[in-house]
Chain A
Amino acid sequence: MSQIDLQIPEVSIREIRLGSITGFQGSAKELVKCSRCGLRDKTRSFSQCLGCSTSHAACMVILIQDAAVISHGPVGCSSCYHEFAFTYRVNSPLRGVEHPGQRRIFSTNLQETDTVYGGEAKLASGIREVYERTHPHAIFVLTTCASGIIGDDVESVCDSAEEELGVPVVAIFCEGFRSRVWTTGFDAGYHGIARKLIKPARKRRTDVINVINFWGSDIFSDWFAPFGAKPNFITPYSTVECLEHSSESAATVQVCSTLGSYLGAVLEQDFGVPEIKTAPPYGVAQTDRWFRELGKALHKEKEAEELIVAKKAEYLPKIAALRRELEGKTAYVTAGAAHGHALLNVLGELGIRAEGAALFHHNPLYDNGSEKSDLLAQGVKDYGDVPNFNICNKQEFELVNTLNRLRPDLLLARHGGMTLWGAKLGIPSLLIGDEHFSMGYEGILRYGERILEVLENDEFVKNLEKHAVNPYTKWWLSQDPYRFLEKGAASAGGGGGSK
């Protein structure tokens, strides 16, 4: 099953490694069914700006405390990274980083002549200069479309620099055009980290658990305390040294399988760290399962059961009370794959009916190959089917059309740019960036309370609706939302999913 090979410089893209897709229409149940017999991706004959791999690889290395990052491309390919510098500074208190250092982000600033004569010499001298200016504990080099197409041998340049400078110089292959699934960029970043930074374990620790995550709040220190363990957050706010020894942890958990799929699997397969394969704890049933598997992996089943009982006694009555207030409301969800599934679970707990979802891609299974990680399949069993289930890589035109049709009571989003259209249509919209916010039993309560607040305070969106500017044609808004999506069966086996 495993497609992981740390011997080769480039990570295999998700489309090939996992059979991931970016186009589907149908229901959640149909997608789950098709996923087991090989999904066939569909293209669109109209498309809008997507994200790309390079910025997704970037966010996983820029926030490492003591590293420097070089984007090997024209200046434009690193121009949104100041946002990660902002994130690093602003969220540092959540991780107890008292003096967040300035992020050191460079561009090789490729020019037209470099596309003719190659950019290798420039990269080599650039790495040296960055080392002199920053003295980092590691340097990450991100490739771009331009450096990829002109065929620079980035791996060799980085290897020579590493030998010369004596610090890891990690080539990360994340050219945008290689994959339509931009989360391939996470895999590319982790692939580089696993190849060049993570060292074989000197010993196995029982008191440290890897948490593959973004930059959210620390709920894990409290959660792990009863197990006598503490979190090792990777990779944001990690240090190069912590990453090197992440191979020694007792286990690895992920806050989002879309994010951590590759690294979780690598740490288990190549470094022997057991991965908690049960999908992250969103919703009551899933939280039960997750704590149980964690307890099992740490040989602390009793502590897990005690924790579950105590937390449920505290939170379930509150959740039930909240459910009474929210029962019967409808919502639409747009998010990345795994976190979208997570939000659907939380809605299920709160008694809110999901009218549909637009999730950015779909992985039939993750790198560990385990069905336990498939939160969508589990969610359909726990909470029932979700209609109007669309796999749509941030195609705003489909979202606008669908929302305009469904007019749910609420729009839930996980990524920037997606809530605007909910608001323009007068639909209360909520974006929670911190994926830890809705985790666990307490997360259901936190999230539900936020939803209630958003539903109660809809004056802003109702006013905006009256004055909203709309660039979409009347024709388009009266069409089937999937009009520009390729027709035909969704699975190689000819399963459902198409109209």
Chain B
Amino acid sequence: MSNAGIRNAGIIEQERYTCAIGALQSVVAIPRAVPILHSGPGCGTMIQGFFERSTGYAGGSTSPCTNFSEQEVVFGGIDRLREIITNTYKVLDTDLQVVLTGCTSGIVGDDVDALAEEFRGQGKPIVSVETAGFKCSNLVAHSLVVNAIVDQYVSLFEEDNPSRSEKRTVNLFSSIPYQDPFWKGNLREYKRLLEGIGLKVHVLFSPESRGVAEWRQIPRASFNILVSPWYGKPIAEHLEERYDQPYLQFPHVPIGANETERFLRQVLAFAGEQDAALDEIAAGEFIRREREAYYGEIDNLATFLLEFRYGLPNHVHILHDAGYVVGLSKFLLHEVGIVPKEQFIVDNTPEEFRAQIEADLKSTSDRKTIPLCFEPDAGKAQDVIRSLRHKGRGLIIGSGWDKELAREKDYDFLSAAVPTPYRMVLTTNYVGFSGGLRVIEDIYDRVLATYR
């Protein structure tokens, strides 16, 4: 499929991401950090409603907000913000405060940076970042938030944390908290895998992070790992510039044995180039054990996949972000035997990354072409799927919106993207060897549940 006629900025239906201020969830994901919203009323509840069950330590109804009224729109909201921040210190017990601005503040032009500077002058660990909703998506704003914390907070501790002073330490930038419904489990699994090959890892978000203490040590890392086709790239670039840390980019979510092993081997090679002096034999042994355990399970499963006579899906449409569409396609084709048909990347991927992502997907198979469409208007993507006909039983992997589509087409359905009110995810991971097994469990659990 071509991408002709796709306008990033046109009207869209069923958005699968949210606006810039949605990156407040990246703050919520840092242990004991609090987002402070300098925005209209409702911005916080919109984001809460998009992600659901996303309150964390001090997000959701706990987050302070100036709740712009007509008065602030006309006269500016800085005084109101100063008052709210001052009292935030009295009411909430937090380690890091990140002020995020909304459209209202953006348009009236409040100088929030100067105000944050004022509080930093008093020794407060506070950061400001412009996230007016019309500026960009939350996937883009995630990088703005992280870079703002680096520049306005991490930078204050550089003396105790010399650049690249720990040879075997890495910073990991991968899942976007909450936008990736499996972010928490994924970060835990990335950490376990990378520690397995001998690295120390700053995951920065989730309970696996040591919070601000870990953030302060970002400069110490020898290099950075970016697992993403495009989002988060500005973070890796910024750290390269700021702390001379090179970065390794792995362009899709590594799910299952093939891609997880490829990912770990690339990290090992890259670490070698950075003189990390890892024990490569021990690392290889770790990978071998993981792989063997994985194939032990696949071995058991294969009989079911080959012999179950009552019907299993043979093809799949995925509506997800670029990292998952490519990662799941590779995994499902090679390790499960479900053929990826038309795929839809709904994360509003910037134009400059699309060719690379297409190439990555194309490399999945030299015998099969997987048609790919970049379409932030997921309603349109659904219309395309409605018009398609493939032989056999189909599977749709997408957000809650796609449940109705799956029912219309009588396809199996796995909810694995936001927003979704139809699935509960706590600490499940889709990344890694174990993540692949979990995807298999999830797909066939839903398939078998259709038999009554």
Contacts and interface: CB of A to CB of B under 8 A. Distances in A.
B62 A48 contact: yes
B45 A55 contact: yes
A476 interface: yes
B444 interface: no
B45 A50 contact: yes
**What are the 4 A-B residue pairs with the smallest beta carbon separation, nearest first?**
A80-B49, A52-B42, A76-B19, A49-B44
A104 B107 CA distance: 29
Interface in B39-75: 40-50, 52, 55, 57-58, 60-70, 72-73
A114 B69 CA distance: 22
B87 A484 contact: yes
A7 interface: no
A114 B134 contact: yes
Nearest to A114: B134
Given A50-B45, A80-B46, A145 B92 contact: no
A149 B133 contact: no
Interface stretch (B10-18, B194-202, B229-237, B267-275): B10-18
Interface string B316-350: 00000000000000000000000000000000000
B419 A180 contact: no
A469 B48 CA distance: 19
B404 interface: yes
B84 interface: yes
A86 B379 contact: no
Given A109-B10, A177-B72, A182-B41, A79 B18 contact: yes
A80 B50 contact: yes
Contacts of B40: 52, 145, 175-177
A166 interface: no
Residue in B11, B57, B93 with the greatest tally of chain A CB atoms within 10 Å:
B11
A383 interface: no
B46 A149 contact: no
Given A50-B42, A79-B46, 8 more contacts: A46-B84, A76-B47, A77-B19, A80-B49, A125-B11, A182-B41, A394-B61, A471-B58
Given A76-B133, A83-B421, A70 B11 contact: yes
A426 interface: no
B11 A126 contact: yes
Interface of B: 9-15, 17-22, 32, 34, 37, 40-50, 52, 55, 57-58, 60-70, 72-73, 83-84, 87-88, 90-94, 102-104, 106-108, 132-135, 137-138, 379, 383, 399-401, 404-405, 419, 421-422
A178 interface: yes
A178 B70 contact: yes
Interface string A378-416: 000000000000000010110000000000000000000
A111 interface: yes
Interface residues of A, number: 70
Contacts of B42: 50-55, 77, 176, 182
Contact of B103 (A50, A74, A126, A472): A74
Contacts of A176: 40-43, 68
B92 A472 contact: yes
Given A75-B137, A177-B72, A182-B42, A109 B107 contact: no
A83 to B, nearest CB: 5
9 contacts: A46-B90, A49-B44, A75-B137, A79-B47, A79-B49, A82-B50, A82-B400, A417-B60, A469-B57
Interface in A24-72: 45-55, 70
Candidate in A75, A104, A108 with the most chain B CB atoms within 10 angstroms: A75
Contacts of B11: 70, 106-109, 122, 125-126, 129-130
A73 B45 CA distance: 16
A145 B102 contact: yes
A304 interface: no
Interface in A80-104: 80-83, 85-86, 89, 102, 104
Given A49-B43, A115-B107, A80 B48 contact: yes
A75 B15 contact: yes
B209 to A, nearest CB: 16
A112 interface: yes
Interface string A326-364: 000000000000000000000000000000000000000
A145 B88 contact: no
Contacts of B383: 133
B421 A82 contact: yes
A150 interface: yes
Contacts of A122: 10-11
A98 to B, nearest CB: 14
A451 B336 CA distance: 49
A48 B60 CA distance: 9
A475 interface: yes
A495 B316 CA distance: 67
Interface in A453-495: 469, 471-473, 475-476, 484
B67 A50 contact: yes
A396 B62 contact: yes
Contacts of A52: 40-43, 45
A177 B46 contact: no
A430 to B, nearest CB: 18
A278 interface: no
Interface string A131-170: 0010000000000111001100000000000000000000
A76 B92 contact: no
A112 B106 CA distance: 10
A50 B14 contact: no
Nearest to B10: A109
A46 B10 contact: no
